[in-house]
Amino acid sequence: MPRTYDRQCPHCSRRATWPDTPTYPFCSERCRLIDLGAWASEGYRIPGEPVPEEVEGFGYLDSEADVEADWDERG
Ligand SMILES: [Zn+2]
């Protein structure tokens, strides 16, 4: 007898079943994405996950400001 699962979608509380619902425990792909979006916007980060874009961006802005300051001093 195959195992099946049955629970409410965490987002809209509709019934989701496994294996009938590929997005289980979410009732649909839409609810799954909405929930993932909420998870991300709450500011969670995977521990140890680097954020290279932000770090590089700040570093770049910093050095550019230094260069401009040098030019000002030299007149
Ligand atoms: Zn749902």
Neighbours of ion ligand 1 (CB under 5 A): 9, 11-12, 14, 27, 31
Domains delineated in the chain? 5-74 (3.30.50.10)
**Radius of gyration from C-alpha coordinates of the chain:** 24
Which of 33, 4, 3, 28 is CA-nearest to residue 14? 28
Provide the residue-wise pLDDT of the chain in tens; the chain has 75 residues: 778 999 999 989 999 999 999 999 999 999 999 888 876 776 656 567 666 565 555 555 555 556 566 666 665
pLDDT (0 to 100) of residue 4: 92
| Å from CA of 58 to ligand 1 middle | 39
Ligand 1 centre from 18 Cα, in Å? 14
How far apart CA 12 and CA 29 sit, in angstroms, is: 12
Cα 10 to averaged position of ligand 1 atoms, centre (Å): 7
Please give the structure tokens belonging to residue 4. Answer: 């099946």
Query: Which pLDDT belongs to residue 24?
Result: 95
**pLDDT at residue 25 in the model:** 94
